[in-house]
Structure 1
Amino acid sequence: MVANGSASHRHHQVLIVGGGSGGITVAAQLLRARPGLDVAILEPATVHDYQSGWIPAGAGLLPLAFTHRPEASVIPPGACWIQDSAARFEPEAQRVITATGESISYQVLVVAMGLQLNWNHIQGLPEALGSHGIVSAYSRDHIIATWAAIRGFQGGIALFTHPATPIKCGGAPQKVMYLADDVFQATSGVGVNSHVIFCTAMAKLYPVEAYNTTVEQVVARRHIDARTLHNLIEVRASEQVAVFDVREPGVEPRREEIRFDLLHVVPPMAAPDVVAHSPLAIDGPGGWVEVNKDTCQHKRFADVFALGDVSSLPTSKSLAAIRGQAPVLVANLLAQLDQRPLLAHYDGYTACPLITSFHSVVMAEFNYELQPVSSFLVDPTKERWSMFLVETRVFPWVYWHRVLKGRLHESRFLKPFAPLVRALGLAFKQP
């Protein structure tokens, strides 16, 4: 059901702001748990993206058509789709004001708006993107051009960056780099004449030590020049120069300029401005919705919940995190409606399938304690062809047919699909 926003005021039991992965998953699980619940989804987009598929699709590992569908096709039956966007949150009055001026009141609010890509926080980048060898797989509009530039690279310095802020899919900057390096090595005369540099604003290549060890081995094997604590702040496109703010311990901050022939940029990210400037936001960098890390309930407004990238939940921002958060949020939201204690707890589970080549993936799964966990009963720190098949063949189907249908809350990953996984030749025993 679609609402066109013609009324000046409406009310819903549950209002979900955001029709991406988090919002649709929560709506589907709510309606499966309680058919007939009055659920509305506030979302302006007409296209729903499987963003986890952008890099595999750009690299030719997945048809690009598999990464998007009409938004109307993913709205759960029984939910009301309000095709508008949030312009102001007024949690004290239990209402949201939309961009068209409509007032929507609610009994419970779920914020699932994702995050905002701040291209303009890097001087010179917005006008340079797509020219002078400057590309990014983080833009839907530039995916094809990004991989065309990688395949057409003739050698020189290929520079890849990771910003100082939390980002969606924290391993993605490296995924692009490893796949690009494979392309360079497979292209006659290019690999031997290329110097790949990875500049990350982080103190190490991966936040979980066990996986960081694996990543360091991958970087060393590929002879990639990895530089930590390097934050991209400016691009001088016509000169093909990237400027970094370098802050190493015990050393005065400095600027470093690196010339490039190809530059893959990952922009700084934050909560959407409408959230960051609202009473819902945490007092600190990012502007995230301030929620309890265990229950997904807002710390100051009991009738507000949040999940996914827009939330302050202290874990990596990924689709896998949403799969862990959604059942907890749904259980606690229903308890809030019923005036019962909130007993469901989220343990910080998340995962990032880190593509390390055209035939291998590290299925990096971990929790709040930054300890590796495994849904597949294998050592998750190892590069595996089996996990490559899961990432490129299984997960896209699971996303469209299980996650968005609210049917993947009985287990974290693929336990219901063990026969399918085994059919792909995956090892479920410790090697």
Structure 2
Amino acid sequence: MAIKQLAPTLSVAPQIMPADVEDLSAMGFRSILCNRPDGEGADQPMAAQIEAAARAAGLGFAYVPAVAGALTDADAAAMRRALDSLPGPVLAYCRSGARAEKLAEMADMVCVRNAGHYDVLIVGGGSAGIATAASILKRRRGIHLAIVEPSNAHYYQPGWTMVGAGVFESGFTRRDEAGLIPRGVEWIKASASTFLPDEKQVVLNDGRRVSYIVLVVCPGIVLDWNAIPGLSDALGHDGVTSNYRYDLAPYTNRLVKQFKGGRALFTQPPMPIKCAGAPQKAMYLSCHRWEKSGVLGSSDVQFHTAGAVLFGVPAYVPALMDYVDRYDINLNFGSKLVEIDSASKTAIFEQADGDGVKRVAERYDMIHVVPPQVAPDFVRTSPLAAASGFVEVDEATLRHPRYPDIFALGDACSASNAKTMAAARKQAPVVAVNVLAALDGKPPVATYDGYGSCPLTVEAGKIVLAEFGYGGTLMPSFPNWLIDGTRPSRLSWLLKDTILPPVYWHGMLKGREWMVKPHMIGA
């Protein structure tokens, strides 16, 4: 079969037969598109026969018939709609492949004609993207603004720790993306694939190019589950879980509730990761439940962290160590999870010692895993990336040092702050006012101080409220007499349990900058 690749997500071929579909699936195609009208040739299978074979193989299918030598703009528009709706890679076919190729070319022209041009283009419709859009529009209505985001669902990820602890229901943390996009913002439901900063364009996964005056990049961070051999297949059964996934946090709750003693392992990979305290939060909340149920005494709880310290800001370590001692947790520093053998319920760690690196096997009854985390591929391989792979920014203004019309925030930017929702909440207004300044041809007018917050849930009802900026500088939001962030507090639990979720949904994502007004340069 002569297959010609036109783009990473589109290839064309001559007439295929139903028997070819299984081989095409094995080659990695996820959809088939028929451009040949039924009845064109005597030996030609009907499109419905190809569709039936495609559906049986789990592939998408579209029928866009077009007459050779008489292709029209309507044919091209239909081709564009089909390519936009089908999962890729797509194989399009006709009698010889030439008609499908010409239609693809015409569809690209439709795409170019329809490509949007925006005052502000935001790549990423998570917490950072929506909050930034809302903050921009609060200040200046009428901005032509679009968000590039492929997902239909939006998650309040800080709530997953509470789901794993049995405090929140998982549905409490999920809402439809469409209902959160600010009014006046165009939602481009696609993924970014390439940045062309010299042309002031972003290429989407379907080949469209979108142009901008100012670009904001905040697509988040990628959880690399496949980086640990055996982990992906083990997740969700036989005691392997993670609060870092919406569908797994309820399993954490179930495992902890059913635990009757034994060995429980909790892991933390090398930095950077989102919410660096979350691996510990799961552990402390689990231990507290086991303490109350009377099984903690018959449990061997181990914390394996690739880092050299329990927490990166020393002021909070004494309070955490009190709970480590109370729960009799065995700390293992410089211990990186490198493999899961689910058949034997064994975790393999690499640990440094005086003779180099050794591999240590630990059997488990349950294990809470946090995967390594990296920048998205299209960021890491782009001209925008720093050496770390994340979008390079000036730490204060969050503007790219080489492209003054580009800003980044949230988990995808290279700033050395902790990657937390609280950081994005503080960054969004700073980026918003600096974006508007850039639109006006002016330099940045606001700065970000590195603020981040990590409410460390040390037991049900108490939290060590870690708040800090660049360099580990303590940055408490409340007076010490109200909340001493270095000590466990019931008021801090109330903050996380009751106050922060509505602040997120009804404040941050609506452009309401409660307690996070941007610091203006010279003010």
Question: Fold-level match, TM-score > 0.5?
Answer: yes
1:353 aligns with 2:459: no
SS of residue matched to 1:292? coil
- Counterpart selection for 2:495 from 377, 384, 390: 390
Give the secondary structure class of the aligned counterpart of 2:229.
Answer: coil
The offset of 1:243, in angstroms, is 1.0
Deviations for 1:44-94, whole angstroms, at most 9, x for unmatched residues?
Answer: 111110001111123222233321111111111111111111111111211
Deviation at 1:334, TM superposition (A): 1.1
Instruction: Return the match for 1:67 from 173, 183, 189.
Output: 173
Distance in 2, matches of 1:221 and 1:373, equals: 28
**Equivalence map 1:11-410=2 (5 Å):** 11-188=117-294, 190-248=295-353, 251-284=355-388, 287-378=389-480, 379-408=484-513
Q: Deviations over 1:285-341 (max 9, x none)?
A: xx1001110110012111111001000010110011012211111121111111112
Is contact 2:290-2:296 (8 Å) kept? yes
Whose radius of gyration is greater, 1 or 2?
Answer: 2
Distance 1:313 1:213 in 2: 27
Partners in 1 of 2:207 and 2:503 — Cα distance?
Answer: 37
Residue identity opposite 1:241 in structure 2: T
Per-residue Cα deviation, 1:356-414 (whole angstroms, up to 9, x for no partner): 1001001100010202221111221010011001101000011001010010255369x
Structure 1 residues 290 and 409, CA, compared in 2 at 3 Å: closer, same or farther? farther
| CA–CA distance in structure 2, aligned partners of residues 122 and 305 of structure 1 | 32
Q: How many residues align structurally?
A: 406
Secondary structure of 2:247 counterpart: helix
Structure 1 SS opposite 2:472: coil
Q: 2: distance between equivalents of 1:279 and 1:301? A: 10
The one-letter amino acid of 1:80's match is E
Q: Distance in 1 between matches of 2:138 and 2:339?
A: 48
Aligned to 2:506, what secondary structure does the other structure show? helix
Structure with the larger RCO, 1 or 2 (CA within 8 Å, 6+ apart): 1
Whole-angstrom CA distance in 2 between matches of 1:331 and 1:149: 46
Q: Is the 8 Å Cα contact of residues 323 and 412 (structure 1) preserved in structure 2?
A: no
Whole-Å separation in 2 of the counterparts to 1:99 and 1:194: 49
Task: Provide the rounded CA distance (Å) in 2 between the counterparts of 1:84 and 1:36.
Answer: 23
Aligned partners of 1:58 and 1:143 also within 8 Å: yes
CA 1:99–1:115 in structure 2 vs 1: closer, same or farther (change >3 Å)? same
Paired with 1:110 and 1:14, the residues of 2 have a C-alpha distance of: 7
Q: Residues of 1 paired with 2:517 and 2:166: CA distance?
A: 28
CA distance in 2 between counterparts of 1:70 and 1:311 reads: 25
Secondary structure in 1 aligned to 2:510?
coil
Distance 1:392 1:365, change over 3 A: same
1:132 CA displacement: 2.3
Q: What amino acid maps onto 1:239 in structure 2?
A: S
In the alignment, residue 331 of structure 1 is paired with which amino acid?
V
Q: What is the DSSP-based 3-state SS (H/G/I as helix, E as strand, rest coil) of the residue aligned with 1:199?
A: strand
TM-score normalised over the length of structure 2: 0.75
* 1:419 paired residue number: none
Name the aligned partner's letter for residue 414 of structure 2: S
Q: What per-residue deviation string (whole Å, max 9, x for no partner) do you get for residues 227-250 of structure 1?
A: 1111111111111111111125x5
Compared CA separation, residues 259 and 205, structure 1 to 2 (3 A): same
Cα distance between partner residues in 2 of 1:356 and 1:120? 30
Query: Does the Cα contact within 8 Å between 1:86 and 1:274 map onto a contact in 2?
Result: yes
> In 1, Cα distance between the equivalents of 2:250 and 2:381?
34
Deviation for aligned residue 1:187: 2.4
**Alpha carbons of structure 1 residues 251 and 329: separation in structure 2 relative to 1, 3 Å:** farther
Letter in 1 for 2:156: Y
Which range moved further: 156-165 or 62-71?
Answer: 62-71
For 2:464 and 2:515, locate their aligned partners in 1 and report how far apart those are by CA, in whole Å. Answer: 24
For residue 239 of structure 1, give the secondary structure of its aligned residue in structure 2.
Answer: coil
Cα distance, 1:137 vs structure 2 = 1.1
Find the counterpart in structure 1 of residue 516 from structure 2: 411
Distance in 2 (CA, whole Å) between partners of 1:293 and 1:244 is: 34
Shift of 1:128: 1.2
Q: Distance in 2 between matches of 1:215 and 1:251?
A: 31
> Aligned equivalents of 1:410 and 1:158: distance in 2?
39
Question: Deviation of residue 213 (structure 1)?
Answer: 2.2
Measured in 1, the distance between the counterparts of 2:303 and 2:517 equals 32
CA drift of 1:7 comes to 4.2
Identical aligned pairs, as a percentage? 43
Contact persistence 2:170–2:249 (CA under 8 A)? no
Q: Which residue of structure 1 lines up, in the alignment, with residue 20 of structure 2?
A: none
**In 1, Cα distance between the equivalents of 2:474 and 2:355?**
33
Cα distance in 1 for residues equivalent to 2:150 and 2:489: 39
Runs of 5+ unmatched residues, structure 2:
1-80, 85-109, 519-523
Where structure 1 has 5 or more consecutive residues not aligned to the other structure, the ranges are: 414-431
